[in-house]
């Protein structure tokens, strides 16, 4: 197919944990199905949560016991891949006929990774991407992904891949994804700002690809019954601004502001060739005689056993 319906599901992690968040996701099943959506992108850290404002009891040079308790609670709310939650998402993909890209916090041993999971209606969980570079204090709680999880998935609605939040700002990662032939760029995020909108339009225009950015929506701290330092109690914690953009960098749906919802747009893969007529970033507009990028896709482990 060349014409598809794609969507960004703008919701937030439920304060009562991953089971309630999963229930919120599943509550959109009928809307996804009735809209005839072929691909749904969901926000960063949706299952597991993005603990905005949490310090985890950490100061330069020392960590407090209450921070360890906070991390233990956060770890318990993360998910196993595969696991109970991924089985539920496989069922959602199968029942709706939609491919899913879902932001999760993934447990691996005693470490956590911010990941994007790819689900197919026919095959279930088909791939995952682990965020390469957590931003700022995210590095306290999330490990770094390696080059072994940079998938671009061939689907009936095009080749889809994902970059999570600020790793979208990494030019070499973008170049690698372009070289893999990405056609529908998925960007799970919690960045609500205007600068993010500018970056998303730039990436779609640079890569001459469709782009779906799905951001969480979180109410104001007062509505959540919490208080955060240096944050107005009545200011939305995350206002959303999910958006869908065409290969010329033009917004075709959204941004969806100040509330949850399913943002839907129609895309036509035939537009890709037209957009790349004068700019194919890894094709006729590249200079391999001048620039070379090497991507190490080997899985990295800290210990190797040999016999």
Residues designated as active site: 44, 131, 165
The two structure tokens encoding residue 204: 């779609």
Identify the residue whose tokens are 């016991």.
Answer: 65
Compute the residue count for the chain.
307
| Residue 93: C-alpha distances to residues 23, 162, 177 (Å) | 15, 18, 24
297, with CB counted inside 10 A (0-12, 13-18, 19+), is exposed
Q: Phi and psi at residue 63, in whole multiples of 5°?
A: -130, 140
| Greatest CA separation for the chain | 61
Which stretches does DSSP call E strand in 75-231?
Answer: 99-108, 111-120, 124-130, 152-155, 158-162, 184-189, 210-215
């Amino acid at each position: 197919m060349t014409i598809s319906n794609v969507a960004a599901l703008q919701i937030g992690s439920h304060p009562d944990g991953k089971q309630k968040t999963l229930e919120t996701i599943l509550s959109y099943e009928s809307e996804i199905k009735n809209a005839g959506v072929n691909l749904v992108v969901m926000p960063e850290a949706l299952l597991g949560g993005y603990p905005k404002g949490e310090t985890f009891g950490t100061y330069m040079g020392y960590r407090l016991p209450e921070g360890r308790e906070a991390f233990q609670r956060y770890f318990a709310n993360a998910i196993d891949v595969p696991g109970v939650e991924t089985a539920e998402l496989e069922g959602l993909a199968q029942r709706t006929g939609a491919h899913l890209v879902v932001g999760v916090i993934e447990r691996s041993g005693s470490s956590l990774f911010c990941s994007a999971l790819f689900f197919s209606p026919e095959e279930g969980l088909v791939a995952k991407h682990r965020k390469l570079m957590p931003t700022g204090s995210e590095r306290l709680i999330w490990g770094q992904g390696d080059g072994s999880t940079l998938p671009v998935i061939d689907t009936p609605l095009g080749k889809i891949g994902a970059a999570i939040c600020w790793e979208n700002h990494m030019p070499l990662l973008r170049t690698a994804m372009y070289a893999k032939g990405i056609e529908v760029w998925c960007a799970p995020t919690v960045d609500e700002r205007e600068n993010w909108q500018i970056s998303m339009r730039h990436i779609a225009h640079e890569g001459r690809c469709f782009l779906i950015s799905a951001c969480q929506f979180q109410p104001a701290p007062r509505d959540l019954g919490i208080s955060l330092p240096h944050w107005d109690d009545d200011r939305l914690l995350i206002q959303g601004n999910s958006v869908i953009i065409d290969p010329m960098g033009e917004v075709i749906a959204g941004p969806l502001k100040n509330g949850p919802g399913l943002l839907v747009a129609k895309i036509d893969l035939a537009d890709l060739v037209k957009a790349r007529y004068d700019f194919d970033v890894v094709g006729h507009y590249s200079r391999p005689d001048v620039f070379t990028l090497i991507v190490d896709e080997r899985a990295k482990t800290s210990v190797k056993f040999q016999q």
